[in-house]
Structure 1
């Protein structure tokens, strides 16, 4: 296989999976890992991907803010895996603050049927989706961000400040070992920070496509969360990073 053809195949795989690994690509295309690293370097120079520890992720604008509808159609299998793992952490009678992420929506779907769970959220989508459920639903109010169907601003902040819950259930745009937990916009980042502060414990739900990426706003350090739930085994470097910050990994 010619180098150009191999790089095209790498981009096809990366577009579908959002992240690729050097060792896997070397085995797949029957070349050395050094050859794959050179391929990734050339693709990065073309601004098609971003190299990361042991592999690469799809290049993207740090301020990219995908709509709720688009996010609802991405990585659904990963979200289900994460939701199934995280559901075991929530018990009957718990109170939770939940952000407007589609991964958290998947988690609430797994919890439907449990009684006496109180959900405080800034998401009008979640209020609609679970209006007929057994959850006690509380909406923050606030200014609507139509793109994400999230409520933000002073009304949302003031509403959240009046509660203290068992868990904050959150997702994010990206995570980076040095930069921490990142978001695409300040208004929703502020809401998530407040949710973390007003919860006994914080559970972060992130699929593997968000590892080793950067976004526009630094939301919080890893020390601000208690548990990270993901859909695959992170690299040894990531496991060390999370352990040093006393984050439980599922």
Structure 2
């Protein structure tokens, strides 16, 4: 395995587990501890990790904007679990707005047998994957953020404002009881905020690693969300807040 390939695999492990250990990695890749230390040093120079005693942790800034291709490999089993849990929330004939998140893409893969679904989305990946499906797909248009395969900007927002839908499906970079839903970048946060405004109900798909975290920019208050679908039982503080605000929780 080439060094660049090994470092890519190390980043996948870090995205899944937040921390890695030199000895574990040397056994996994069948190389010396010193080789792994050099790999971690190079990743630290790229501002991707922070080395610590015996290993490294992921360098997770509030504004860290992970590419779609990297995000699609992060916590993939959790996304599949969430998608299966959320499938029954969508009915034949529903009109949907869907963001450009990898978790929402996972859910759409379980909705292929639903009939007469209309989907308005700013995700070019979603459009490409379901081009031959029975979904009626409306693209928002707009400026392409190639990093995330998302269409953003004034044109996308104006398109969204033309429609009123049954449900919006969104994910987020982070969520906090007091700070609400947050994103790593302003353009996609604005799109999600507008989608929420146009929908009768809002469904948030968020794995447990995003709870009690902070990201760069606020999208909306948690009270604007009708249903949260996640992969693990949240703590008692979340239960109390969800009950007080009449939010449905599925895990």
- Asked if these proteins are the same fold (TM beyond 0.5), I'd say yes
Cα 1:194–1:91 change in 2 (3 A) is: same
What CA distance in whole angstroms lies between the structure 2 residues aligned with 1:177 and 1:230?
15
- How many Å apart are 1:14 and its aligned residue? 8.1
What CA distance in whole angstroms lies between the structure 2 residues aligned with 1:128 and 1:14?
29
Cα 1:90–1:18 change in 2 (3 A) is: farther
2:60 aligned partner: 60
1:94 aligned partner: 94
Cα 1:236–1:59 change in 2 (3 A) is: farther
1:60-100 residue CA offsets vs partner (Å, 9 max, x unmatched)? 10000000000011111000110001110000000000000
What CA distance in whole angstroms lies between the structure 1 residues aligned with 2:106 and 2:17?
20
1:8 aligned partner: none
CA-based RMSD of the aligned residues comes to 1.9
The TM-score, its normalising length taken from structure 2, stands at: 0.77
What CA distance in whole angstroms lies between the structure 1 residues aligned with 2:71 and 2:163?
29
1:229 aligned partner: 229
2:244 aligned partner: 244
Instruction: Say yes or no: does 1:108 pair with 2:108.
Output: yes
1:133 aligned partner: 133
Query: Which sections of structure 1, spanning at least 5 residues, go unmatched?
Result: 1-12, 20-46, 50-56
Helix, strand or coil at the partner of 2:116: coil
The TM-score, its normalising length taken from structure 1, stands at: 0.78
Cα 1:15–1:64 change in 2 (3 A) is: closer
What CA distance in whole angstroms lies between the structure 2 residues aligned with 1:147 and 1:226?
29
1:169 aligned partner: 169
1:213 aligned partner: 213
Helix, strand or coil at the partner of 2:155: helix
Helix, strand or coil at the partner of 1:110: coil
What CA distance in whole angstroms lies between the structure 1 residues aligned with 2:59 and 2:88?
34
2:150 aligned partner: 150
1:168-187 matches, within 5 Å, as 168-187=168-187
Asked if structure 2 preserves the Cα contact closer than 8 Å seen for 1:17 and 1:209, the reply is no
1:28 aligned partner: none
Asked if structure 1 preserves the Cα contact closer than 8 Å seen for 2:16 and 2:75, the reply is no
- How many Å apart are 1:229 and its aligned residue? 0.3
2:26 aligned partner: none
Asked if structure 1 preserves the Cα contact closer than 8 Å seen for 2:203 and 2:225, the reply is yes
What CA distance in whole angstroms lies between the structure 1 residues aligned with 2:60 and 2:137?
35
